[in-house]
Amino acid sequence: MTSRPWVAWGVCRLNFFVVEPGASHKVTLPLPHMTDAVENSQPLLRLSKITKVYTRGDLAVPALRGIDLFIEQGEFVAVMGPSGSGKSTLMNLIGCLDRPTSGAYFLEGQDVAQLSRDELAGVRLRTLGFVFQGFNLLSRTTALENVELPLLYAGMKSVERAERAKEALRRVGLDARAGHTPNQLSGGQQQRVAIARALVTRPKLLLADEPTGNLDSRTSIEVMALLQELNAEGLTVLLVTHEPDIASYAGRLLLVKDGRLRTDEKRAAMSAKQALSEWRDEETLQ
Partner 1 sequence: MMVMMALRLALRSLLRNRMRSALTALGVIIGVAALLVTVVLGEGTRKMVAAQIASMGSAILMIVPGASAQGGFMGGTGSGRPLQRDDVEAILQARSVRYAVPVDRTVAQVVSSNLNWQTPIIGTTTDYLALRDWPVARGRFFNAAENDTAAKVCVLGRTVAQNIFGESDPVGQQLRVKQMPCEVIGLLAAKGQSAMGSDQDDVLIMPSLTLRTRVLNQNRQYVSTIMVSATSEDDLAAAESEVVSILRQRHKLTDDQENDFTVRNLAELVQTQQKIVETQTGMLRNVAAVSLLVGGIGIMNIMLVSVTERTREIGIRLAIGAREKDILLQFLVEAVVLSVMGGLLGIGLGMLAATLFAKLGGGMPVDFSAFWMVLGFGVSVAIGVLFGFYPARKAARLDPIDALRYE
Q: Interface with partner 1 by CB under 8 A: which residues?
A: 92, 95, 97-98, 117-118, 121-122, 124-126, 130, 132, 136-138, 140, 149-150, 152-155, 197, 201
Report in angstroms how near the CB of residue 136 gets to partner 1 at its nearest. Answer: 5
Enclosing H/E stretch for 148? helix 143-153
Q: Which is nearer to partner 1, 33 or 157 (CB)?
A: 157
Report in angstroms how near the CB of residue 272 gets to partner 1 at its nearest. Answer: 26
CA distances from 89 to 19, 121, 259, 265 (A): 28, 17, 9, 21
Report in angstroms how near the CB of residue 250 gets to partner 1 at its nearest. Answer: 22
Report in angstroms how near the CB of residue 260 gets to partner 1 at its nearest. Answer: 21
Q: How far apart are CA 123 and CA 149, in angstroms?
A: 16
CA distances from 161 to 147, 168, 195 (A): 9, 11, 16
Q: Which is nearer to partner 1, 92 or 248 (CB)?
A: 92
Q: Which is nearer to partner 1, 125 or 268 (CB)?
A: 125
Q: Which is nearer to partner 1, 161 or 171 (CB)?
A: 161
Q: Which is nearer to partner 1, 95 or 188 (CB)?
A: 95
Enclosing H/E stretch for 61? strand 59-71
Asked if residues 247 and 241 have their Cβ atoms less than 8 Å apart, the reply is yes
Enclosing H/E stretch for 89? helix 87-94
CA atoms in the 13 A half-sphere facing the CB of 36: 4
Q: Is 234 helix (H, G, I), strand (E, B) or coil?
A: coil
Report in angstroms how near the CB of residue 98 gets to partner 1 at its nearest. Answer: 6
Comparing CA positions, the residue from 199, 266, 205 lying closest to residue 239 is: 205
Q: Which is nearer to partner 1, 127 or 212 (CB)?
A: 127
Comparing CA positions, the residue from 189, 246, 244 lying closest to residue 221 is: 246
Report in angstroms how near the CB of residue 235 gets to partner 1 at its nearest. Answer: 17
